[in-house]
Structure 1
């Protein structure tokens, strides 16, 4: 009997594999059909809004302001973010990997190249180093800094707290310490 049980188990395993393969194939087909239906429904709503002159009840102008794919009543990711910063603002990292080409803002310690400060300015303190101002870039940046850290999420960053950076900074690359001070 033990030989038959082993043979039956092997046969069941093969049948189970076939069943799983069939389920996976049919499941992927159903998702594709559902996705097509959703896409077709979205296209119909857009067409109706355009043909009927944009009646608010028919999916015209009133629905145009809603983002596609968002459901009403569902909180967005940005609900917890501070209102002062735009959604995806971040400072570009230094585009030169050579240490001698990198400088940091003396006030907020953001690290970039001089060309990047000239082209974009300082995202944390735009009043100190505005975009396109070569004189301020020379005056308010320094090559004398120690250590580099990257801050991705300023709200939850223990490294930002340890180095004593402001909570309102943009994500970017920062110096741990700047050895120059702001001139009065």
Structure 2
């Protein structure tokens, strides 16, 4: 697996605010999120992509086999598909999306370094 983005392509990269996978805008548009599509429904929805992904993220981790990677476990990525992930994703997921995730049994943990438990 290789991931290389030219400077021109880098400005079109986005990270999912739920799982932190990094893909181009067009990949989210065409295929959605490989980990969160059933909950977020990003495929073909510019509004959902704008609300649930961010162009502001830090660090990149390439994970080949999430089931055996200690980095994947540490970043809570061990149940996701192989790919390139951001270590931190800036942005706030809309409340209705958080509700949709919870309704589908997914516990949302912000990927921006906060615990997301201040209001709990």
TM range (shorter): 0.5 to 0.7
SS of residue matched to 2:92: coil
Matched, 1:125 2:36: yes
TM-score, normalising length from structure 1?
0.46
Please list every run of 5 or more consecutive structure 2 residues that lacks an aligned counterpart in the other structure: 96-120
Larger relative helix fraction: 1
Query: Helix, strand or coil for the counterpart of 2:50?
Result: helix
Structure (1 or 2) with the larger CA radius of gyration:
1
Change (3 A) 1:94 1:131: farther
Q: How many residues of Structure 1 are paired with residues of Structure 2 in the alignment?
A: 92
**Pair 1:94–1:152, CA change in 2 (3 A):** closer
Deviation string 1:95-136 (CA, Å, 9 cap, x unpaired) is 743332211001100101111100000010012133222211
Q: Distance in 2 between matches of 1:134 and 1:93?
A: 27
Structure that is richer in strand per residue: 2
Secondary structure of 2:51's counterpart equals helix
Equivalences for 1:72-87 in 2 at 5 Å?
none
- Name 1:113's counterpart in structure 2: 24
Is contact 1:94–1:112 with CA below 8 Å preserved after alignment?
Answer: no
Task: Indicate whether 1:138 and 2:50 are aligned.
Answer: yes
Larger relative contact order (Cα-Cα within 8 Å, sequence gap ≥ 6): 2
| RMSD between superposed Cα atoms in Å | 2.0
What is the aligned counterpart of 1:181 among 56, 74, 92?
92
Q: Secondary structure at the match of 1:176?
A: strand
1:93 CA drift (Å): 7.1
For residues 94 and 143 of structure 1, the distance between their equivalents in structure 2, rounded to whole angstroms, comes to 17
Aligned residue in 2 for 1:97: 6
Structure 1, unaligned stretches of length 5 or more?
1-91
